[in-house]
Structure formats: C-alpha cells, structure tokens
C-alpha cells in the first residue's frame, strides 16, 4: 500500500466515523491532520474552521482544533495566521508544542527577536527538549550571537551526541571562529552524509555572513 493510498483509506474511515457520530470531535481533528499531510489544504482549512464553530463550547476540542489549524497555516507558509491559532492554546498538554511552533513560525519569517522570546519560553517549559534547544541555537545564529549559539548546541549535544543538527550547528560556529579540529562537522557528515552535502552550501553562506559580522 502506497502512502497516498493509506491516507485515502484513513480519510474514508474518519469521514465514516464522523457520519456515524457527528459529535466525535477527535475524528474531526484527525481528519484535518490527515488532510494537511495529504496536502489538501483548502479542505483542511474549511473543515478546521467549520469544526471550531461546531465545537465552540468544548474546551478540549477547541484547543486541539486550534493547534491543527495553526499547523495548517504553518504548512502553507501563512505564519502570522498560524501564530494567531497557536496563541489561543491554553491547554497544558499542548502549550509547549504551541509555544515552539510560534518560535518556528517567527524563525521562518527571519524575525529572530520574536522567535527568541518563544524559544526561550519553550526551553523553560521543557528543559530537555532537544529540538527546542537546537532551534534556540539556530535563532542565536540568526541573531549573530555565536557564544549563545555554541552554548545551545552543546546543551543539545549533551542530550544526544548523535544529533545531526546539533553537531552541524556547533560545527558551523567553529567554522566561523576559524579554529582547527572541527570534529562536529565531521561527526555530522558521518551521521548523514547526504544531508551534510545538501547543507554544504548553507554552511558556506552562513559562515561567510557570520564571519563578516564578526569582523565588523
């Protein structure tokens, strides 16, 4: 079974579940998510917004639907709209994920100062979230603060020494410093050679940019 066939099967099952039990709000959430994965964005938006109206008096449903709709807008690059919905999250089980999605959305817009606010909050919420710490490191790179970036990547490496992203980020900082013995980049290349090659141009571009800022 191909992935697309599997998604179609999932959609059919969820539609049947909704038709059988119209108040089954988790099925609506799941269907929105499947529509996003299958890139049926208009249908996902229509269902998500409609479902928010249907379940307006159900706190749990509204929270999950807000998160799903936020993910939809993030997926299509509508980052301000995405953050509107992520900003409505108050449920404790979703709050950290919503906070980090807000950080990612601002990062995607190159609004590094706003991204930093949310990333720092997210790391305070869950101190051992490796992905959150790596995002924080990348945000510090965007802000051209190499010291803070290095510290964040090293914190992530302490959690997972085999992380490609943490090794790559720390290696990037080392490249900008121009110091020899860059074992971080060597480790990243060993972990995922194809991905390393794909990021090689980015490595050169960012290193040159940061080196120029450092010299200034």
pLDDT of residue 5: 72
**145 found inside a domain:** yes
Question: Are 139 and 186 within one domain?
Answer: yes
pLDDT of residue 214: 57
Question: Are 59 and 135 within one domain?
Answer: no
Which CATH number does the domain housing residue 38 bear?
1.25.40.10
**26 found inside a domain:** yes
Question: Are 105 and 7 within one domain?
Answer: yes
3-class SS string, 146-161:
HHHHHHHHHHHHHHCC
pLDDT of residue 177: 82
pLDDT of residue 204: 77
**88 found inside a domain:** yes
**Residues ≥6 apart with Cβ < 8 Å to 102:** 83, 86, 87, 118
Above 90 in pLDDT, residue 211? no
Question: Are 43 and 78 within one domain?
Answer: yes
Question: Are 194 and 133 within one domain?
Answer: yes
**156 found inside a domain:** yes
pLDDT of residue 179: 72
Above 90 in pLDDT, residue 105? yes
Above 60 in pLDDT, residue 132? yes
**117 found inside a domain:** no
List the one residue out of 184, 194, 118 whose CA is nearest residue 150: 184
pLDDT of residue 203: 77
pLDDT in tens, 139-171: 999 999 999 999 999 999 999 999 999 999 999
pLDDT of residue 205: 78
Tokens 């924080």 map to which residue?
A: 136
Q: What sign for the dihedral angle of Cα 182, 188, 190, 193? A: negative
Residues 31-47: what's their mean pLDDT?
A: 96
Question: Are 77 and 145 within one domain?
Answer: no
Number of domains comprising the chain: 2
Average pLDDT of the residues of the chain: 92
SS3 of 58, please? coil
Question: Are 107 and 131 within one domain?
Answer: no
Q: Which of 54, 88, 112 is the last residue of a domain?
A: 112
Q: 192 is in which domain, residue-wise?
A: 127-216
């Amino acid at each position: 079974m191909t992935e697309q066939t599997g998604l179609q099967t999932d959609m059919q099952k969820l539609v049947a579940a909704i038709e059988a039990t119209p108040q089954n709000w988790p099925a609506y959430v799941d269907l929105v998510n499947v529509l996003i994965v299958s890139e049926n964005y208009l249908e996902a938006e229509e269902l998500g917004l409609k479902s928010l109206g249907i379940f307006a008096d159900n706190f749990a449903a509204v929270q999950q639907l807000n998160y799903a709709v936020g993910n939809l807008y993030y997926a299509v690059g509508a980052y301000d709209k995405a953050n509107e919905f992520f900003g409505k999250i108050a449920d404790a089980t979703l709050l950290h994920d919503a906070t980090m999605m807000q950080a990612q959305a601002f990062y995607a817009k190159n609004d590094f100062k706003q991204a930093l606010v949310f990333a720092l909050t997210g790391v305070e919420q869950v101190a051992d979230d490796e992905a959150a710490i790596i995002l924080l490191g990348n945000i510090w790179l965007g802000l051209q603060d190499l010291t803070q970036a290095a510290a964040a990547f090293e914190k992530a490496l302490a959690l997972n020494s085999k992380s490609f992203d943490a090794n790559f980020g720390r290696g990037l900082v080392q490249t900008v410093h121009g110091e020899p013995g860059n074992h971080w980049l060597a480790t990243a290349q060993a972990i995922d050679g194809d991905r390393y090659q794909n990021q090689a141009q980015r490595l050169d571009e960012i290193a040159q940019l940061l080196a120029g800022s450092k010299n200034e």
